[in-house]
């Protein structure tokens, strides 16, 4: 049990071994406090195991990235009170942003096996290529970073991300995310509970 002295929030953490039986997850949830907010950082097979457990009456937050994003196998009985952290643009808003990467992959006869990783790779390579083209013959690491930072802020094609920016001592170009929930008891449609928020 951990108590945050600034906010007077009691935090109880419980680690469940990887690949443990649903019963172990249920026992861990039973040991937690009866009231409050439940935060679960689970992989897809552990999320699917929640189907064997009754959902708590409180709000439940899950890691979208760990859990499979919009394909997280969250049981229908858990969906009413569950929300996901979501570090990408919503699926229904990013279609056009991904058309460039999809087109390039299709033209090169490259199978899509991991859409997000392949779109990120395409984005990184095109950013580097565009930056090097702007630099002409004046190539040096500091100048490359400076030009990349300037180019990134005005980029309209940003792949999975609604906006990207870099500056001195910043190592992540996308710094925010949404809190989302599923639109219904089944399916992959997400609804944003918050605007894009940078912590």
**What are the tens digits of pLDDT across the range 74-133?**
999 999 999 999 999 999 998 888 999 999 999 999 999 999 999 999 999 999 999 998
User: What pLDDT is stored for residue 89 in this prediction?
Assistant: 95
Rounded Cα distance, 139 and 148, in Å: 12
- Residue 48 contacts residue 75 (beta carbons within 8 Å): yes
User: What pLDDT is stored for residue 33 in this prediction?
Assistant: 64
Among 34-38, 47-51, 86-90, name the one with the lowest average pLDDT.
Answer: 34-38
Mean pLDDT of the chain: 86
Pairing of strands 82-86, 178-182: antiparallel
Percent of the chain with pLDDT over 70: 90
Kindly tell me if the per-residue pLDDT of 187 is higher than 80: yes
- Number of residues in the chain: 199
Local structure of 40: helix, strand or coil = strand
Percent of the chain with pLDDT over 90: 46
User: What pLDDT is stored for residue 190 in this prediction?
Assistant: 95
Task: Locate 148 and state its tokens.
Answer: 């990349």
Going by C-beta distance under 8 Å and a sequence separation of 6 or more, which residues neighbour residue 117? none
User: What pLDDT is stored for residue 127 in this prediction?
Assistant: 92
pLDDT tens per residue, range 116-166: 999 999 999 999 999 998 887 888 888 888 888 888 888 888 999 998 888
């Amino acid at each position: 049990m951990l108590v945050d002295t600034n906010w007077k929030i009691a935090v109880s953490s419980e680690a469940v071994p990887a690949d443990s039986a649903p019963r172990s997850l249920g026992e861990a949830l039973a040991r937690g406090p009866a009231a409050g907010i439940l935060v679960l950082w689970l992989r897809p097979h552990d999320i699917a195991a929640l189907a064997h457990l009754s959902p708590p009456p409180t709000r439940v937050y899950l890691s979208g990235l760990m859990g499979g994003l919009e394909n997280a196998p969250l049981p229908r009985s858990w969906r009413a009170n569950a929300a996901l952290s979501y570090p990408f643009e919503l699926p229904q808003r990013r279609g056009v942003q991904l058309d460039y990467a999809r087109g390039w992959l299709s033209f090169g006869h490259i199978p899509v096996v991991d859409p997000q990783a392949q779109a990120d790779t395409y984005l990184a390579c095109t950013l580097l290529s565009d930056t090097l083209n702007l630099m002409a013959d004046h190539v040096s690491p500091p100048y490359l970073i400076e030009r990349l930072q300037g180019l990134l802020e005005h980029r309209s094609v940003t792949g999975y991300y609604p906006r990207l920016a870099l500056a001195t001592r910043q190592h992540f170009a996308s710094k925010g995310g949404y809190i989302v929930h599923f639109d219904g008891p089944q399916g992959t449609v997400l609804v944003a509970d918050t605007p894009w928020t940078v912590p």
